[in-house]
Structure 1
């Protein structure tokens, strides 16, 4: 008795060879590639071009830039105008950063309480931050106008002699500083308010039960919790303050008396587009970049130490 042979199994397509999976890091790199390309093209390449131009003498209307080595840097170091501009930048930055952060924290602590109408006040305080700096500068031109401004009118009502803010350099710098603080105070206020609403209230309650004074609770309980926020604000507010241009350009155009209110950013603009010295303007921009890089690295280092402690 013979058994029938089983029919041969059907032959299918050979199994496909799968490629090596790219993994999570490969996928992340692929997704980041467009942003990295834009960052290189529009940030790092112009930065390197700026450094290269800082070693040249280039009239912006001329087709060719001539290499002159470090002559622009030597000129900046010995230029009295650069010293005045650097002083203005330091004074303006220290004043705006310090006052904005102190007032922002004070207002945030006040409006963190259960007060009637606090949401309206919060909106009013934050509103100037979203307004154009040029528009704010135009508005405050009338506030500080020496002939019919609001400050002049208030001074006359209380019997105070109001200085001419547009003719005296130190008062002009004060005017620009006040205007900038008014515009950007809402930023520090909102960030601090968010940090206060996320803090641990039980720590403050425990300190109060233990008999700690309000000042001790503020310095020993609240401020340590706000330390990361303070470090973050110190970096962002400083970078924004150093780069101010619109308010200075609208209100004083860097004057009076030459460079009375000019900051380094405004000097870059003036040397490049007014005096047509693009090489020298690139030099000032490079020096400012180095200053900001060093300050930012120091702040980040301090922030890391604060987190570790």
Structure 2
């Protein structure tokens, strides 16, 4: 009996070791490239450290105090929320409309699905460069066609009032295909019997959408909203390429500001402080969303 127990224990131990060996590569990458930078940047937020200097001096909470009194930080935070409030609701609504359209039994729907999803495949930096040329008031195609129909030639990316809406528009165009595919998967998982029952009860198409489709898409919508909000608060590529944070800091977001602090001004200590402010913001917003959608179930 003891021999059998030893064999069983040995077999269980080998299985556990094998499981740990399988997750070891992913765990190593997580520790080296995610956990360690998070912990180290938190430590560095208490130091005054220039990346060009070999010494870092401990200053306690001075970086956090400076951040609270930094008008540029608050401007970047405002611009980040501005982008989020434009990008998230409009992008999700358009994605849902497109998903409803390509989910219908129409000819060529696979072609439409491919066309709508194509921008997702391209890197954001390339998309941003293309749209920068398109929106250029001197050589851009959009300005040219506007002039043909008698509309005013607008310098979208040079106007502080229009630069952020232009960035939001490009971001929605780039990302709507991904959310469309997620919504499409959710729509195709809804059993047709629900719609048949609604039609028997005399429900119109609009009533079927609000009382059948939307409630059954709740988990899909929760995923899309959470991922889109996180993505919007981390916006960087399109801002960096299209406007560089200008004009007059009207499009400078938190990630853009963190980049400038760390890799332009080489102020890693203060940059880490602002990065942690963004981390806390993301954590707070995500927890609120998870609790909201959990309470709705």
TM-score range, shorter chain: over 0.9
- With normalisation by structure 2, the TM-score equals 0.92
Distance 1:115 1:280, change over 3 A: same
Give yes or no for the alignment of 1:18 onto 2:7: yes
Determine which of 210, 232, 247 is the counterpart of 2:201.
210
Give yes or no for the alignment of 1:301 onto 2:291: yes
**Residues 200-227 of structure 1: CA distance to partner in whole angstroms, max 9, x if unpaired?**
1111121111111222211111101100
Structure with greater helix share of residues: 2
Residue 302 of structure 1 and its aligned partner are, at CA, apart by 2.3
**Residues 91-150 of structure 1: CA distance to partner in whole angstroms, max 9, x if unpaired?**
111211111110000011011111111111110110100101111011001111011212
Residue 22 of structure 1 and its aligned partner are, at CA, apart by 2.3
Distance 1:50 1:16, change over 3 A: closer
Equivalent in the alignment of 2:263: 273
Equivalent in the alignment of 2:65: 74
Distance 1:17 1:234, change over 3 A: closer
1:283-302 to 2 correspondences below 5 Å: 283-302=273-292
* Cα separation, 2, equivalents of 1:284 and 1:16: 56
1:124-273 to 2 correspondences below 5 Å: 124-257=115-248, 259-273=249-263
- With normalisation by structure 1, the TM-score equals 0.89
Distance 1:241 1:57, change over 3 A: same
Equivalent in the alignment of 1:110: 101
* Cα separation, 2, equivalents of 1:28 and 1:296: 31
* Cα separation, 2, equivalents of 1:16 and 1:189: 55
Classify the secondary structure of the residue corresponding to 1:216. Answer: helix
- Contact 1:195–1:229 (CA<8 Å) still a contact in 2? yes
* Cα separation, 1, equivalents of 2:160 and 2:124: 21
- Contact 1:163–1:171 (CA<8 Å) still a contact in 2? no
* Cα separation, 2, equivalents of 1:213 and 1:303: 27
Residue 166 of structure 1 and its aligned partner are, at CA, apart by 2.6
Distance 1:230 1:25, change over 3 A: farther
Distance 1:184 1:209, change over 3 A: same
| Rg larger in structure | 1
Q: What's the C-alpha RMSD, in Å, of the aligned pairs?
A: 2.0
* Cα separation, 1, equivalents of 2:5 and 2:163: 76
Report runs of 4+ in structure 1 exceeding 6 Å deviation.
23-26
**Residues 263-299 of structure 1: CA distance to partner in whole angstroms, max 9, x if unpaired?**
1111110111111111111111100000001111122
* Cα separation, 1, equivalents of 2:174 and 2:216: 27
The unaligned stretches of length 5 or more in structure 1 are 1-13
Determine which of 111, 114, 123 is the counterpart of 2:114.
123
Residue 155 of structure 1 and its aligned partner are, at CA, apart by 2.3
**Residues 220-240 of structure 1: CA distance to partner in whole angstroms, max 9, x if unpaired?**
111011000000011111222
* Cα separation, 2, equivalents of 1:16 and 1:238: 53
The unaligned stretches of length 5 or more in structure 2 are none
